[in-house]
């Protein structure tokens, strides 16, 4: 059993007890259950990685004009955003100046700025000189002094002394159009920059004397966007991506293309980074198709699985090492920053997709408190509530588990689900096996299930697309009363509670009303009007406390959740929760409490007052199912993951 939790009256926040969120990748700034949603408010344009006080960090720049620092171990933002740029922060790199770690950033506002990463303060005045936006930036050492090399819309390459904060030498020119990016390295003992241009050429520059080395490298049929430099078989190579959907490698000694272009991207290749995974040189490339791809640079062949998770154009990627493992950090047009464990994608080329959790509840199985989830075609999964360890699984065969409830049947914990053949099935959670014959009668998909007890006997209420609501005695499988068939269209939502001392089914109707049906007879009482404009009710949950029975509902095209006093047969108030994807309710210490999920945000409510309890919590993906346990536990399912949260006292 789980020990009783803190009374919700004293709760100011929740903490994650456990989550089975995969470590394959995570969105930075949105840890499960975080009360504050730190993220860029516009596309994440650029990212670099570094080590700050022995901790791996990422520094990102965005179209929201801010620079942010991220703790890669904790997945959280460090400090406040760094502000000062007046336009898109399009370039960033990290170096050390006079013993202090600094970030150097370039912006479309035409300036280069230096930031002390310990204090978060800007160092000196902005560096100016570019006659347009700065689009590319990298740091290196020339004659023992730290410098930044920049490119921009003005088609120039410039070198800046970061100690004296001034431009060094003349601007380097030669490209016929703007320069999206550059990379720097030492080749034949000379510091060089490699630039890619909108003129479709790649050029190499000697940073010591400011001269172009050799002729431009040609072959691309589109704009050359990103540039990276690495070593393959001991030879320095440049890697470029282009709007012609190709990735190319270039020998920097012989100044020629190596082999055929790498193809497979669908759209512009806008960002590149290199690293080593399992001893081999690896390229990570991303762009317009929202995916990151890996390439073995020695063979120029695709490597491992696609890195999928972003929902917008990938604009930046950088690599680092955490605990000896190669990691990539990517930024996207979707405003997010994500971290990827590259070895997992190489070692598991075709990872099994985790299906979204469609339904979640709790149960006591052989004296053990467990979380029970329905994962679509993946059947029923059981998790130990205290530790998160798997506690069993039930293969439901061809029956997807999209609706689920649990009950006690003759001392056995059971789950009740709807079958693909429109029957109702009961499963012994301890044995992992079906129990009894399926309950037949529905002629359409079942969209809602709820359980209750009538005169000590467990009953289940089911709502279906066949427009009917049925009540079943789980002990003997008999149907109670005639099926309720009234609506012209299907009924989606159903819950149970006590109303005026009678176990009652609460049904959400297509016309925005609620119907109340005592479970002993399954005959309707007067419907409860909504005042919600007649929009179909999609979700309903109930709780009883203080002698009052409450229901909460969400409806199509409404961004509010309505709270109903069922005894008074009236809508009491509304909860401002946004467009709801899941909701649940229960009674805790004679207090009616609800939890709502609006896409990625989760809120907890007191139904008697309709006031929010504690701060809103945020999750990395859209929340698909929630539950609230009478002991005070929150269970939140997002994508294929489950998290259990406990209240923290105020």
- Token pair 């689900």: residue: 417
Whether the predicted pLDDT of 488 surpasses 60: no
Q: How confident is the model at residue 348 (pLDDT cuts 50, 70, 90)?
A: low
**What is the H or E stretch that residue 70 is in?**
strand 66-71
Whether the predicted pLDDT of 491 surpasses 90: no
Q: pTM (2 decimals)?
A: 0.71
Neighbouring C-alpha atoms within 13 Å toward the C-beta of 1: 5
Nearest to 228 by CA among 191, 274, 265: 274
Q: How far apart are CA 239 and CA 23, in angstroms?
A: 29
Q: How far apart are CA 503 and CA 392, in angstroms?
A: 32
Q: How far apart are CA 598 and CA 617, in angstroms?
A: 10
Who has greater pLDDT, 29 or 421?
A: 421
Segment 254-277, tens digit of pLDDT:
999 999 999 999 999 999 999 999
Q: Which long-range contacts (CB under 8 A, 24 or more apart) does 528-535 make?
A: 528/564, 528/566, 528/569, 528/570, 528/571, 529/570, 529/571, 530/555, 530/562, 530/564, 530/571, 531/571, 532/558, 532/562, 532/571, 533/558
Segment 115-146, tens digit of pLDDT:
999 999 999 999 999 999 999 999 999 999 99
Question: What is the predicted pLDDT for the residue at 245?
Answer: 96
CB 326 within 8 A of CB 275: yes
Question: What is the predicted pLDDT for the residue at 176?
Answer: 93
Beta strand 100-107 pairing with 89-97 = antiparallel
Positive/negative CA dihedral, 475, 478, 481, 484: positive
Q: How far apart are CA 162 and CA 141, in angstroms?
A: 10
Question: What is the predicted pLDDT for the residue at 489?
Answer: 61
- Token pair 């700034």: residue: 29
Segment 626-636, tens digit of pLDDT:
999 988 899 99
Q: How far apart are CA 64 and CA 161, in angstroms?
A: 28
Q: How far apart are CA 531 and CA 432, in angstroms?
A: 44
- Token pair 């979380």: residue: 371
Torsion of CA 124, 126, 69, 46, to 10 degrees: -160
SS3 62: strand
Q: How far apart are CA 122 and CA 251, in angstroms?
A: 38
Neighbouring C-alpha atoms within 13 Å toward the C-beta of 279: 0
What mean pLDDT comes out for the span 607-629? 89
- Token pair 């190579």: residue: 237
What mean pLDDT comes out for the span 334-352? 79
Whether the predicted pLDDT of 10 surpasses 70: no
Residue 395's Cβ-count burial label (10 Å; 0-12, 13-18, 19+) is: exposed
């Amino acid at each position: 059993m789980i020990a009783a939790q803190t009374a919700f009256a004293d709760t100011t926040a929740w903490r994650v007890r456990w989550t089975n969120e995969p470590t394959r990748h995570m969105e930075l700034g949105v840890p499960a259950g975080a009360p504050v949603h730190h993220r860029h408010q516009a596309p994440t344009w650029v990212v670099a990685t570094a080590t700050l006080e022995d901790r791996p960090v990422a520094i990102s720049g965005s179209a929201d004009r801010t620079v942010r620092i991220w703790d890669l171990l904790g997945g959280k933002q460090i400090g406040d955003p760094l502000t000062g740029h007046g336009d898109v922060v399009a370039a960033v790199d990290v170096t050390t100046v006079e013993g202090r770690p600094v970030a150097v950033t370039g912006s479309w506002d035409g300036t280069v700025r230096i930031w002390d990463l310990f204090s978060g303060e800007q160092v000196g005045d902005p560096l100016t000189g570019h006659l347009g936006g700065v689009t590319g930036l990298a740091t290196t050492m020339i004659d023992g002094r730290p410098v930044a090399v920049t490119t921009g819309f003005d088609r120039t390459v410039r070198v800046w002394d970061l100690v004296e904060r001034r431009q060094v030498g003349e601007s380097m020119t030669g490209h016929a159009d703007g320069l999206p990016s550059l990379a720097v390295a030492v080749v034949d003992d000379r510091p060089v920059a490699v630039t890619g241009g909108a003129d479709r050429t790649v050029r190499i520059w000697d940073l010591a004397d400011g001269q172009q080395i050799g002729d431009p490298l040609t072959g691309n049929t589109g704009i050359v966007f990103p540039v990276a430099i690495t070593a393959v078989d001991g030879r320095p190579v440049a890697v470029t991506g282009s709007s012609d959907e190709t990735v190319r490698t270039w020998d920097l000694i012989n100044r020629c293309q190596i082999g055929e272009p790498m193809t497979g991207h669908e759209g512009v290749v806008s960002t590149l980074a290199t690293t080593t995974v399992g001893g081999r040189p690896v390229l990570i490339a991303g762009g317009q198709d929202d995916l990151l791809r890996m390439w073995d640079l020695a063979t120029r062949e695709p490597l491992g699985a696609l890195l999928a998770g972003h929902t917008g154009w990938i604009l930046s990627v950088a690599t680092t090492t955490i605990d000896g493992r190669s990691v990539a950090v990517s930024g996207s047009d979707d405003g997010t920053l994500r971290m990827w464990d590259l070895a997992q994608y190489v070692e598991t080329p075709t990872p099994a997709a985790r299906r979204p959790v469609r339904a979640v509840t709790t149960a006591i199985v052989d004296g053990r408190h467990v979380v029970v989830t329905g994962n679509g075609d993946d059947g029923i999964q059981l998790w130990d509530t205290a530790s998160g360890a798997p506690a069993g699984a039930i293969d439901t065969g061809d029956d997807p588990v999209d609706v689920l409830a649990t009950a006690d049947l003759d001392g056995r914990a059971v789950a009740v689900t709807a079958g693909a053949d429109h029957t109702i099935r009961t499963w012994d959670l301890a044995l992992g096996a079906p129990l009894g014959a399926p309950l037949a009668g529905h002629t359409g998909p079942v969209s809602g299930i709820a359980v209750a007890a009538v005169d000590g006997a467990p009953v289940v209420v089911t709502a279906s697309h066949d427009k009917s609501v049925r009540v079943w005695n789980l002990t003997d499988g008999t149907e109670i009363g005639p099926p309720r068939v009234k609506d012209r269209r299907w009924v989606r939502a159903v819950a149970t509670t006590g109303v005026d001392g009678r176990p009652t089914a609460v049904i959400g109707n297509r016309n925005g009303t609620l119907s109340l049906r005592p479970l002993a007879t399954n005959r309707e009482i007067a419907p409860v009007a909504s005042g919600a404009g007649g929009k179909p009710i999609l979700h309903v949950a109930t709780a009883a406390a203080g002698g009052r029975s409450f229901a909460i509902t969400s409806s199509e095209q409404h961004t509010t959740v309505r709270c109903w006093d069922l005894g008074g047969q009236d809508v009491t108030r509304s909860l401002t929760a946004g467009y709801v994807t899941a909701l649940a309710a229960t009674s805790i210490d004679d207090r009616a409490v609800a939890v709502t999920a609006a896409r990625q945000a989760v809120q907890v409510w007191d139904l008697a007052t309709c006031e929010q309890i504690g701060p809103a919590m945020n999750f990395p993906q859209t929340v698909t199912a929630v539950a609230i346990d009478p002991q005070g536990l929150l269970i939140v399912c997002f994508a294929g993951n489950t998290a259990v949260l406990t209240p923290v006292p105020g």
